[in-house]
A = this chain, B = another copy of it.
């Protein structure tokens, strides 16, 4: 008996199938079965259900499965809601035009962060930032912002969950967080990706709860520490203005 699950297995499996398509665009039934480690038969039934409800469609030519229109509908509705990713896009574009670098918006999800919105720099050499990407919370300017300005209990939880090279490692990180809290922004140089640098500031809603991190990122030879320090006030100001747009 143990502690029984309060979820529905069949549903979780169906959602696992959908989730496969965060990486892939088109897969056959057997490919899906392999990826999810489910029986062909089971996958077939789940796909039939998903297809029936418009969450998946089959490419008429290849016979393979891909995401369906209902996903568009849902995403479109998200857009029309008061979701930050859409609400803040115009403001992000303004910042992009002013700084000439790629602007991203991150939220925390458990022990990860997700890029929920991005507007690309239009310079030749630029940081390309796919929306929807999941990144670790351990490195990067926005990660540090999402931890440094989180509520104490969240911060404690996350710090406990992350992996550390040693206690010194963790202590150094916590010292860094303290400084970030004082400065109001964070930077990172080649921390997560070689050749890339970023500077990030927190976005708080009206209730002064952290909702997202706004990041400016670019090649580290162009976006030097000096440049980032120089840009910081403008980024913080933009982030503050954005926060006022949220309820």
Contacts and interface: CB of A to CB of B under 8 A. Distances in A.
Interface of A: 6-8, 10-12, 14-16, 18-19, 21-23, 25-26, 44-46, 48-50, 52-55, 60-61, 66-67, 69-82, 85, 107, 109, 114, 116, 130-134, 207, 209
Contacts of A22: 70, 73-74, 77
A97 B209 CA distance: 41
Contacts of A14: 8, 11, 14-15
In the assembly, how many copies of this chain are there?
Answer: 2
A15 B50 contact: yes
B134 A73 contact: yes
Contacts of A25: 77-78, 80-82
A52 B109 CA distance: 12
Contact of A53 (B19, B44, B133): B19
Contact of A79 (B23, B52, B131): B131
**Which of A6, A7, A26 has the most chain B CB atoms closer than 10 A to its own CB?**
A7
A81 B60 CA distance: 17
A52 B21 contact: no
A181 to B, nearest CB: 22
Contact of A74 (B10, B21, B61, B130): B21
A12 B72 contact: no
Contacts of A7: 45, 48-49, 52
Contacts of A67: 74, 77-78
Contacts of A61: 207
Nearest to A117: B72
A18 B72 CA distance: 12
B77 A45 contact: no
B50 A132 contact: no
A7 B51 CA distance: 10
Given A7-B45, A81-B25, A52 B12 contact: yes
Contacts of A79: 131
Contact of A12 (B16, B49, B107, B130): B49
B74 A109 contact: no
A125 B192 CA distance: 47
Given A10-B10, A11-B11, 10 more contacts: A8-B10, A8-B46, A11-B49, A14-B14, A15-B55, A21-B77, A26-B81, A69-B109, A69-B116, A71-B78
